[in-house]
Structure 1
Amino acid sequence: MVQILPLFLATLATISPVVQAGSCTPGLDYCGFTLTGNGWDPQGFHHSYLYYCLADGVAILKQKCRFPGCEDGGTGNSDVCPYG
């Protein structure tokens, strides 16, 4: 069976804006406001967008959250877009 997630992430990494200015936990998703609150440069992040942390600590754009926006998942957990 073809594993779609690695292919999707590789494609996303090549077409998405890459933002690197701090550190993040690989494999977790972060709201823009979570990253900027943790010392990342606020330029290039949108508060209601979700970013995915790659193995090398680079955050790439994953998706834009619908209203009311992105939700903090708490320490050690991925943030989420509760309404897509």
Structure 2
Amino acid sequence: MYAANANYWLGQLLFNKSEFAEAKQAFNTVVARFSDSNKRGDSLVKLGMIAEKTGDKAGALQYYQQVVKDYANSAAARIAQQQLAALKA
């Protein structure tokens, strides 16, 4: 549990510093290795945001749609839906 949280917050710190490649690595660790973590949905949202910021609109759509599907009634899904709406606008 602590490893998932540590990787999430490391990713968040790197994201805030615009170190997207490193942040992506940290968020991917949460998604791949900690499937039961409560930070997994949030990590997928952040991966979508990184994809957007690096010009990968298709990747961003994929991440956001996965969050909406896998975490339907969560705060992460609400953020993902907002991001999807903005991308499609």
- Compare relative contact order (CA 8 Å, sep 6+) and give the higher one, 1 or 2: 1
Q: Which TM-score applies when normalising by structure 1? A: 0.33
Please state which structure has a larger fraction of its residues in helix: 2
More strand by share: 1
TM-score (structure 2 length as normaliser): 0.31
